[in-house]
A = this chain, B = another copy of it.
Amino acid sequence: MAGFPVFLLSDFGTHDTYAAQMRSAILSFAGYDTPLADLTHHVPRGSVLEGAFHLRACLPFLPPGSVTLAVVDPGVGTERRGLAALWRERLVVCPDNGLISFLPPPVPLFQLPPPEPSSSSTFHGRDWFAPCAARLSVDPGWIDSMKPLEDPVLLRFPESLSGEGSISAAVIHVDSFGNAILSIESTREIPSGDMTIRWRGGSRPLVRVDCYQEAQPDEAAILRGSQGFWEIAFRGGSAGEILGLKAGEQIEMILEG
């Protein structure tokens, strides 16, 4: 019987066969009919921050019961632990290095059993995390046998602060369309009046729109994105390039009048 779907997220790229070797390890353990899908293998190399963003952005759109194997693991081969996380009926398997930092609580965490002595010390994704994810996809109850993990490594989420007439935030990702995604959840409101955006590179007017096409071609616009956050965009252009914004950068939005 097929297990639950397994999704893969990593910084391995696709020029080597590393991601494929993780896939094969899952198929071998959980059965050839296990549904597998790549989220992306192009997380910037070693960037736990961007890995945490992607995990937070897409997990709500994955089916309940699914298992996501997230491997951005610059500490591979050192003593860092492995964990399983349970978030809204979805499971995540990853190193304990902050990848689960941005998941809104509650997020019960569990400690994976250590890797087999026979596993490679340089490729825990294939030899340790993938078999754990595979087992959880066919035997979700396995998690009940794991010890709780109480003190996870956590990243500090770039803060989004509302002051008097201004909103501070951080860019947490620039997507491949050039949209600069902000650390402001789209469930929050942003006033609809005129604004000015200020950042390291200068300042300029910012309009609030509901879809990309509402902005004028040269106009910096802010809108609710599809990934759970507000984002800064240019119609038919790249906000990342035009404004020179990068992940991690602070911005401030000044509300007029």
**A24 and B63 contacting across the interface, CB-CB below 8 Å:** yes
Residues of B within 8 Å of A28, CB to CB, are: 63
Flag whether A158 is at the interface (Cβ < 8 A).
no
**A211 and B14 contacting across the interface, CB-CB below 8 Å:** no
In the bound assembly, the distance between CA atoms of A177 and B45 in angstroms comes to: 8
**A61 and B24 contacting across the interface, CB-CB below 8 Å:** yes
Which one of B14, B23, B54, B127 lies within 8 Å of A17 (CB-CB)? B54
Residues of B within 8 Å of A78, CB to CB, are: 211, 213
Given known pairs A42-B14, A42-B15, the reply for A37 and B20 (CB within 8 Å) is yes
**A175 and B75 contacting across the interface, CB-CB below 8 Å:** no
In the bound assembly, the distance between CA atoms of A77 and B210 in angstroms comes to: 8
Residues of B within 8 Å of A39, CB to CB, are: 17, 20
Residues of B within 8 Å of A224, CB to CB, are: 120-122
Listed from nearest, the 3 A-B pairs whose CB atoms lie closest are A77-B211, A123-B226, A15-B42
Q: What would be 29 A-B contacts, judged by CB atoms less than 8 Å apart?
A: A2-B32, A5-B27, A7-B24, A12-B176, A13-B176, A14-B42, A15-B176, A16-B54, A16-B176, A17-B40, A17-B54, A17-B58, A18-B175, A20-B39, A23-B37, A24-B37, A24-B58, A24-B63, A33-B35, A46-B236, A75-B213, A76-B213, A77-B210, A77-B211, A77-B212, A121-B210, A122-B223, A122-B224, A122-B225
